[in-house]
A and B are shown apart, each in its own frame.
Chain A
Amino acid sequence: MRNSQTQSPVSSISERLSGADPRSSITQLFESMRPDLLRFAHWLARDRSLAEDIVQESLLRAWRSRDTLKDRGAARAWLLTIVRREHARLYERKRLELVSLDEALEGQTAAKAPEPDADLFTLRNAIMRLPIEYREPLVLQILGGFSTEEIAGELALSSTAVLTRLFRARNKLRAICGMTPAPDVSPSEAAP
């Protein structure tokens, strides 16, 4: 794990859950969201170990900035945002190449379904192979519960661009699942 610190409030989280320390409740709140954060990070990073690093680092950042979280009801969205930014930072730091698999998805059809969950398996892999520009807004919307406007703000895109990306993401998955894809929409993806 990167940045594991022996005195970190997150890595020693279980020891801090008891008692009346007001910090423990926020820690407990953060920790309760770890599974969701990990799932979200996994879909972004496409790697479990990377996702765990991202979540650990994000929880540390969240802990350091906990005073800025005024509304605990907004904690989930706040933490997801931190995870998303930490994922982006990771790629900037490591200069990892984002490989577009868009071309590879074209023309793919659903695999035969020898078992009931085969379609789901195909769909999971298809989502994993979506280019990040399509995968990220889709995951933000479905797993994160973000609105189009919130995604637009998060990704620094226009709402129209977000709508287009979400449409294209689903349209690609639609094709992979054996349904006839809808005609593509006019390109209008311009950052504001």
Chain B
Amino acid sequence: MSCEQARLQIGADPTGSAAGLEEHLRGCTQCQQFREEMRTLDANIRRALEQPPGWVGTPRRTTTWRPWALAASVLLAMLAVLSVWLLRPSDTLAREIVAHVQQEPDSWLAQQHVDAQGINEALRGAGVSLDITSDRITYAQSCWFRDHYVPHLVVQTAQGPVTVMILRNQRVSGRRSFHEAGMNGVIVPAPQGSIAVLARGSADVGGTATQMQQDVHWLAGAR
């Protein structure tokens, strides 16, 4: 077996251990090293595949703990009612937005811009289009938020990355700023819902929100 054949087999299945391959590896340290590297890489690929990008939470799962689930549901419902009573709607919305962003900490680490197809995929579910050059967007996902898919974008600004969530179904009565968990944010009304902008540090979320009010176009006929 040649090195090329050995590397083809290793690359195709790093966990494989065919007799011919093992025989080659006994006499070839370079291919041995290649296999070790590929096995490490494969373990990381496996970890990566367990959670696709933008994967927040796990889908509905049937369990055998139905009574417990029912009791927990009742408790959660009571807590939800209490929360609604205690918190004004916009406060609740802001907290949920912050919680959502905290669940996707990787979103602010992206450094490469998302291509036009990626952006369109993120926007498609919400029925909006965007007038913004794609090289400023480093993260674009369609995220499940309050029973709807909403675009979750990260836009690069001079002061750093800023998260933008376009909330077609969340209406607010006016512009509202918030500070939560080390993040500054603002929720602004929009023709078909609202737009939330938040960032860590000193990024100009207000200016970005005003800009997004102009850049987001709400397509007619979308839900």
Q: Which of B9, B49, B144 has the most A CB atoms < 10 Å from its CB?
A: B49
Given contacts A14-B62, A121-B106, A138-B45, contact A167 B7 (CB under 8 A): yes
CB under 8 Å from chain A, chain B span 122-142: 125, 141-142
- A107 within 8 Å of B by Cβ? no
Given contacts A46-B121, A127-B48, contact A34 B11 (CB under 8 A): no
- A117 within 8 Å of B by Cβ? yes
Chain A residues with CB under 8 Å of B147's CB are: none
- A76 within 8 Å of B by Cβ? no
Cα distance, A43 to B11, chains bound together (Å): 20
**In the complex the two chains form, is B109's CB within 8 Å of A128's CB?**
no
**In the complex the two chains form, is A125's CB within 8 Å of B109's CB?**
no
User: How close is B101's CB to chain A, nearest CB, in angstroms?
Assistant: 15
**In the complex the two chains form, is B49's CB within 8 Å of A139's CB?**
yes
Binary A-proximity of B208-219 (CB < 8 A = 1, otherwise 0)? 000000000000
**In the complex the two chains form, is A42's CB within 8 Å of B110's CB?**
no
Chain B residues with CB under 8 Å of A182's CB are: 7, 11, 34
- B55 within 8 Å of A by Cβ? yes
CB under 8 Å from chain B, chain A span 107-155: 108, 111-112, 114-115, 117-121, 123-125, 127-128, 138-139, 141-143, 148
Q: Which of B12, B38, B55, B105 has the most A CB atoms < 10 Å from its CB?
A: B12
* Chain A interface SS verdict (over half): helix
Chain B residues with CB under 8 Å of A112's CB are: 111
Cα distance, A104 to B9, chains bound together (Å): 26
**In the complex the two chains form, is B41's CB within 8 Å of A179's CB?**
yes
Given contacts A104-B115, A125-B53, A127-B49, contact A48 B142 (CB under 8 A): yes
Q: Which of B34, B45, B47, B115 has the most A CB atoms < 10 Å from its CB?
A: B45
Q: Which of B11, B37, B38, B115 has the most A CB atoms < 10 Å from its CB?
A: B11
Binary A-proximity of B1-21 (CB < 8 A = 1, otherwise 0)? 000100111011110000000
Query: Quick one: which of B4, B42, B142 contacts A183, CB cutoff 8 A?
Result: B4
Cα distance, A39 to B55, chains bound together (Å): 9
Query: Quick one: which of B38, B49, B105 contacts A143, CB cutoff 8 A?
Result: B49
Binary B-proximity of A30-63 (CB < 8 A = 1, otherwise 0)? 0110110011001100111100100000000000
- B52 within 8 Å of A by Cβ? yes
CB-defined A-B contacts under 8 Å, sample of 13: A38-B59, A49-B149, A99-B117, A111-B111, A117-B106, A124-B51, A128-B52, A162-B12, A163-B8, A167-B11, A168-B11, A171-B11, A185-B7
Contacts from A to B (Cβ < 8 Å): 13-14, 17, 28, 31-32, 34-35, 38-39, 42-43, 46-49, 52, 99, 101, 104, 108, 111-112, 114-115, 117-121, 123-125, 127-128, 138-139, 141-143, 148, 162-164, 166-168, 170-171, 173-174, 177, 179, 182-183, 185-186
A47-B121, A121-B53, A138-B45 known; 18 other A-B pairs, CB under 8 Å?
Answer: A28-B62, A42-B52, A43-B49, A112-B111, A115-B105, A118-B106, A121-B109, A123-B44, A124-B51, A142-B46, A162-B12, A163-B12, A166-B12, A173-B41, A174-B41, A177-B44, A182-B7, A182-B34
